Amino acid sequence: MPADEFGALTEPFRPELLAHCYRLLGSIHDAEDLVQETYLRAWRGFAGFEGRSSVRRWLYKIATTACFTALASRARRPLPSGLGAPSDDHRVPVAARAPEVAWLQPAPEFGGGDPAVAAAARAGVRLAFVAALQLLPARQRAVLTLRDVLAFSTAEVADLLDTTPAAVDSALRRARTHLAEAGPSEDTMAEPTRDPDRALLEQYVDAFTRADAEALIRLLRADVELEMPPIPTWFSGREAVTGFLAARVLHAGRWLLTPTRANGQPALVVHHRTADGRAEPYGVQVLTLRGGRIARITSFNDPTLVAMFTG
């Protein structure tokens, strides 16, 4: 088959396949690699594709199989909140960075020209949901996303995973139970609005860049949480979070925050200014808003992530 014909049939599904692999792997970098592998396998195997299923379902089968193979040799990707309890005292010693841990990564917006593709790509990527998925075994992870996020039927998922409908239903029940027991509350995983409070975000950027802790306090919920992978230590409670930021992070003129979106949520690309005035990449902050205030700040302090949100 000519490359242009193959591309016309398969390329429209690339954004939603990327989102699917990201949900399963917890890494946007790994997801991009697996989608490339998916298309290579599809190209090589297209001559044997007999059209018994849709091209979309066929591609999902290839992508999910590739993800299973990758997950067999990789540890789950947690956030600090998935490894231990928070501190409510900002004066505690902060643990050293843990480079040996493969941390969950944020994901930029998943686009798509077709509205249906865009909807499939943007559903189920909220940070709390993807973090909760990492608690599940790989097969439960796949069943839950294919059924509850992508709305494939039980029979379709059974075909995708080369198993039986009864096995799919059993895995789905176990996955839902595990999430209910160990995952975050439903309101933290609910899909965010597409129009966050712009005034709130502007006030946050202003307070953070001016190192105004008092202004920051007014924007945070009383139960706000702050985590900063790759640092395992994390904080819970407005006093602990603002105390930590005021004592160890906030310095007027040091930070440059640029609004963006990650995981369907408001986010900020973070640069820090060097002594000679240069702005160097620092990481990405993802904000969880609830009730008109900031409920969680997840600061991914990884300079390599910045290019994904500024390219």
SS (H, E, C) the chain: CCHHHHHHHHHHHHHHHHHHHHHHHCCHHHHHHHHHHHHHHHHHHHHHCCCCCCHHHHHHHHHHHHHHHHHCCCCCCCCHHHCCCCECCCCCCCCCCCCCCCCCCCCCCCCCCCHHHHHHHHCCCCHHHHHHHCCCCHHHHHHHHHHHHCCCCHHHHHHHCCCCHHHHHHHHHHHHHHHHHHCCCHHHHCCCCCCCCHHHHHHHHHHHHHCCHHHHHCCEEEEEEEEECCEEEEEECHHHHHHHHHHHCCCCCCEEEEEEEECCEEEEEEEEECCCCCEEEEEEEEEEEECCEEEEEEEECCHHHHHHHHC
Confidence band for 187, pLDDT divided at 50, 70 and 90: low
The domain made up of 123-191 is a member of CATH 1.10.10.10: yes
The domain made up of 1-72 is a member of CATH 1.10.1740.10: yes
- Computed over every residue of the chain, the mean pLDDT equals 91
Q: Does residue 211 carry a pLDDT above 80?
A: yes
pLDDT (tens digit, 9 = 90+) per residue, 285-309?
999 999 899 999 999 999 999 999 9
Q: Where do the structural domains in the chain lie, given as residue ranges?
A: 1-72, 123-191, 198-310
CATH among 3.30.465.10, 3.40.50.1220, 3.10.450.50, 2.40.50.100 for 198-310:
3.10.450.50
Average pLDDT over residues 272-276: 90
Q: Does residue 207 carry a pLDDT above 70?
A: yes
Average pLDDT over residues 15-23: 97
